[in-house]
Amino acid sequence: MFGHPNAATLTYYGLYALQHRGQESAGIVTANGPNSPFKRHVAMGLVSQVFNSSDLEKLVGNRAVGHVRYSTSGSSNLVNAQPFVVNTARGQIAVAHNGNLVNAPLLREELEERGSIFQTTVDSEIILHLLAQPSEPDGVLAALRKIHGAFSLVMMSEREIIGVRDPFGFRPLSIGKLDGAWVLSSETCAFDLIHAEFVRDVEPGEVVIIDENGIRSEWPFQQEQRAFCIFEYVYFARPDSLISNINVARVRTEMGRELARMHPAEADVVIPVPDSGNYAAMGFAEELGIPYSHAFVRNHYIGRTFLQPSQLIRDFNVRVKLNLIKEAVAGKRVVVVDDSIVRGTTARARVVNLREAGAAEVHMRISCPPHKHSCFYGIDFPDPEKLLANQCSLDQIREYLGADSIGYLDVPAMVRATGQPQNQFCLACFTGKYPIPVDPNLDKHIMERRSTRPNLLASHDSSPSLFPRKP
């Protein structure tokens, strides 16, 4: 947010609206113009746990950047929590990053060889080090041109706030306005919460610079074919958000209708796996004229469970999130609609729940195609060998889940539901066709290269320590 006296509090509310995008850590950095030091508060946990009113009071300034984190690179700990802040020759800079850089290992190695010392294990820190390099005439834009992959960024300097979307436009980023102040947000649902007006999306490849003079754009990147992550529509984004001016709930409902036309079922009731299956199940039920019921009840108040993994605990974890209203399914032919199947363990547990509750038949319907490939652009899927659809045929999946039938949406139907052309999307986790080539073994190769280098410290092993241990 730029130019509002309550920037920190409004950013805090905005983070509440974006909580679904990351639950590991949250943070806000505020600024008050040139030569006034940035204020930062970050901690592990949900937005409601990270900030109290006294934390917010300390975050003075009329501009702010906030972040909620879910780790797709680097581990989940405080040092990796964003926004990051660094002091550079250009003054202080704060960065919040959504996405994954595909050339992160190479850039990191290059920067380390030139003397950069990294504090964290996340690729977002690379952006900071690039920004901190000695100035070129268009320093920030030159730094941005070096990074490749998925990045929607919000950066704050002492004079401006800068929003950046990579040229493929993998992740969303929108512009809003509130009482003359400018707001950037990953999703428009944050604008609704703070009564900001949605202005437009930041376009793929666009850099928007917001300062005292207003807002302007730069286009520093080579133009690329747009590749928006379709999984944002399927699962990740909130249903009340607009993406490319299309409401996410409307797309999910249409996915359910498409699914019903592709894989109809004779059934007595359609039930969703809440919450992300809700709209697709509704579309499915409407299309076939089958009653729709919320048989699974979600417990919204579970935090992390710090118990050791065991069969009992795993079972507890699956059951504590969703409980079943047995009367809604007993003796009935049930269609259960979920947005996706990743490992399959949860989906299998749902089928067991339904059988135990006395469902006469269980028909599983999935509102996207089978997930067979990794994502390198910011969604944390497991390795392909842990993806059920990568390892099993459709019939094996049905058998593993214990369902009477199974049906997935296919790629053309999923895309049709968005009302946009297929060439606008990244579909790599379904098709294996990656818009930006990736080398999944890059990290390993670099580690191997490092291990063959001479150890520069070896010759100093016998030197006395500056901090000798007490005898």
- Tell me the per-residue interface mask from 323 to 362 with ligand SF4, x by CB under 6 A, - otherwise: ----------------------------------------
The nearest distance, CB 228 to ligand SF4, in angstroms, is: 8
Closest CA to 400 of 392, 410, 411: 392
Distance CA 151, CA 142 (A): 15
According to the binding rule CB under 6 A, does residue 270 interact with ligand SF4? no
Cβ-based nearer residue to ligand SF4, 226 or 363? 226
Subset of 163-182 contacting ligand SF4 (CB under 6 A): 170
The residue among 231 and 400 lying less far from ligand SF4, judged by its C-beta, is 231
Query: Helical H runs in 72-136?
Result: 104-113, 124-132
Work out how close the CB of 385 gets to ligand SF4 at its nearest, in angstroms, rounded to a whole number: 17
Stretch that binds ligand SF4, among 119-127, 186-194, 375-383, 445-453 (CB under 6 A): 375-383
Q: Which is nearer to ligand SF4, 168 or 400 (CB)?
A: 168
Size of residue set near ligand SF4 by CB under 6 A: 11
Using the minimum distance from each CB to ligand SF4, give the nearer residue, 188 or 340: 340
What does the per-residue mask of binding to ligand SF4 show for 405-444, with x meaning CB under 6 A?
---------------------xxxx---------------
User: How far, in Å, CA of 118 to CA of 107, rounded?
Assistant: 12
CB atoms within 10 A of CB 58: 11
Scanning residues 204 to 233, which ones bind ligand SF4 (CB under 6 A)?
A: 229-231
Q: How many CB atoms lie within 10 A of CB 381?
A: 19
Q: Strand 322-324 and strand 296-298: pairing?
A: antiparallel
In the complex, what is the shortest distance from the CB of residue 109 to ligand SF4, in angstroms, rounded to a whole number? 24
Check residue 251 for interaction with ligand SF4 (CB under 6 A).
no
Question: C-beta of 427: minimal distance to ligand SF4 in Å?
Answer: 6
375 binds ligand SF4 (CB under 6 A): yes
Beta-strand (E) ranges in 254-339? 269-272, 296-298, 322-324, 333-338
Residue 93 or 237 with smaller CB distance to ligand SF4: 237
Whether the Cβ atoms of residue 401 and residue 342 lie closer than 8 Å to each other = no
- Residue 59 near ligand SF4 by CB under 6 A: no
Alpha-carbon distance of 256 to 282, in angstroms, equals 7
Q: Which CB sits closer to ligand SF4, 178 or 442?
A: 442
Which member of 151, 377, 400, 408 binds ligand SF4 (CB under 6 A)?
A: 377
> How many CB atoms sit inside 10 A of residue 299's CB?
10
Which element (helix H / strand E) includes 143?
Answer: helix 139-146
Residue 170 CB, nearest distance to ligand SF4 (Å)?
5
Scan for tokens 């089958």, then name that residue: 290
Based on CB atoms, which residue is closest to ligand SF4, 229 or 273?
229
* Least Cβ distance, residue 227 to ligand SF4 (angstroms): 7
Name the residue nearer to ligand SF4 (CB basis): 20 or 298.
20
Closer residue to ligand SF4, CB minimum distance, 93 or 426: 426
Buried b or exposed e, range 121-144, using 16+ CB within 10 angstroms: ebbbbbbbbbbbbeeeeebbbebb
Check binding of 237 to ligand SF4 (CB under 6 A): no
Cα 305 to Cα 22, 77, 318, 320: the distances in Å are: 17, 17, 12, 10
The Cα 20–Cα 22 span in angstroms is 6
Stretch that binds ligand SF4, among 59-67, 187-195, 373-381, 439-447 (CB under 6 A): 373-381
Nearest to 338 by CA among 277, 395, 268: 277
Burial classification of residue 229, based on how many CB atoms lie within 10 Å of its CB (0-12 exposed, 13-18 middle, 19 or more buried): buried
Q: 383 near 207, Cβ under 8 Å?
A: no
Q: Answer yes or no whether residue 379 interacts with ligand SF4 by CB under 6 A.
A: yes
Q: How far is the CB of 127 from ligand SF4 (least distance, A)?
A: 19
If the CB atoms of residues 116 and 424 are measured against ligand SF4, the closer one turns out to be 424
Comparing CA positions, the residue from 286, 321, 284 lying closest to residue 304 is 321
Instruction: Tell me which residues touch ligand SF4 (CB under 6 A).
Output: 170, 229-231, 375, 377, 379, 426-429
